[in-house]
Copies of this chain bind each other. A is one copy, B any other.
């Protein structure tokens, strides 16, 4: 039996090479084609010496594949994948193009008309822990943003249980690799090193994703989300602190801390990649991995529920989750090629 053939469109960004790294160790699929624009014609291992175990040339045009990841920027990504979908190829889109269900929201946040509104309905928002079955049947999966993945996993049990008020504050911290490999002053080492800053206070493009998915999970009042991302002087890693009001009377038992911990443990009991931890998590405990660590806690002084979650923004926040979605779409065991622990220290 031949293995499914996998391709990566635009392999030369940080998400693209992380997909290649993970696929190179996958026993049940074969990475057969990678594309890039400026680097076309070069050996992948020459452009990226850490990928010395992959013997592929970066191509200008994707070869024959059964499933393709698109790591193109938004707008371009949709245009790139439409013909592939028409050929029956399965697509995991790493860009934002198929994440928002509402065309108006897309236009508002991305400043351009959606290139393929007819596909929005069939696209599945790919957080396996929340949409496992739909992903398994999808031809087109929208791989979520890193901030939304980290926040939604942190909030899902509480939202589903209906134990929190609608006012949600998310203070999120990300490593610089989230800004990608393009040349920006704000990504220069000398600017970012020894620096912490908040950004996009007038609205980050991941906010509507968080809003959409949080609303879908919530049975009660629509959540009202304040989202402030911060840039950290590190390459990988993302940590979110979510502050919400707890509706104490909806929690069973007399010990809110225990009840919250149990609620979270139960919700993710069957999940391999989500760990409920007993102490505030460290991003470094997820570095290079597909794991998400979540720490739910209750502040008896103020009654606030505080949940801290962390992931590797390029792992569970991007490429790792992409591979997890791929495994589901291809009928493979979901955890294949994703069980590697984090690199620590």
List residues of chain A with CB under 8 Å of any chain B CB: 14, 17, 21, 24-25, 46, 48-53, 167, 169, 171, 173, 175-177, 181, 183-185, 187-199, 201-203, 224-226, 228, 230, 232-237, 239, 241, 243, 275, 277-278, 280-289, 291, 293, 295, 297, 299, 301-302, 304, 306, 308, 310, 339-345
A287 to chain B, nearest CB (A): 7
Q: Which residues of B contact A283 (CB under 8 A)?
A: 194-197
Contact B302 A167 (CB under 8 A): yes
CB atoms of A341 and B24 under 8 A apart:
yes
Give the distance in Å from the alpha carbon of A53 to the alpha carbon of B344 in the complex. Answer: 14
Are B291 and A52 in contact (CB-based, < 8 A)?
yes
Quick one: which of B25, B184, B188 contacts A340, CB cutoff 8 A? B25
Beta-carbon contact of A169 and B345 below 8 Å: no
Do the beta carbons of B14 and A345 come within 8 Å of each other?
yes
CB-CB under 8 A from A50, the residues of chain B are 284-287, 289, 291, 341-344
A189's partner among B193, B201, B225, B237 (CB-CB below 8 A) is B193
A54: nearest chain-B partner, CB-CB: B341
- Say yes or no: A228 contacts B306, CB within 8 Å: yes
Can you name the residue of chain B whose Cβ is closest to the Cβ of A20? B341
Q: What residue of chain B has the Cβ atom nearest to residue A49's Cβ? A: B285
Tell whether, in the assembled complex, residue B21 and residue A341 are in contact, meaning their CB atoms are under 8 Å apart.
Answer: yes
Shortest Cβ distance from A312 into B: residue: B343
Q: Is the CB of A288 within 8 A of B285?
A: no
Do B194 and A176 touch across chains, with their CB atoms under 8 A apart? no
Task: Pick 7 A–B contacts, CB within 8 A, sort by A.
Answer: A169-B243, A173-B196, A183-B188, A189-B189, A196-B232, A196-B282, A287-B343
Q: B residues within 8 A CB of A286? A: 50
Task: Say yes or no: B188 contacts A226, CB within 8 Å.
Answer: no
The answer to whether A234 and B24 touch across the interface, beta carbons within 8 angstroms, is no
Pair B49/A275 contact, Cβ less than 8 Å = yes
User: How far, in angstroms, from A342 to B342 measured CA to CA in the complex?
Assistant: 12
**A195 near B49: Cβ-Cβ < 8 Å:** no
When distances are taken between beta carbons in the complex, the residues of chain B under 8 Å from A339 are: 25, 53
With a cutoff of 8 Å between Cβ atoms, the chain B residues found around residue A173 in the complex are 173, 196, 230
Say whether, besides A190-B345, A339-B25, A243 and B230 are in contact (CB < 8 Å): no
With A176-B189, A230-B239, A344-B17 given, is the CB distance from A201 to B282 under 8 Å? Answer: no
CB contacts (< 8 Å) of A25 on chain B: these are 339-341
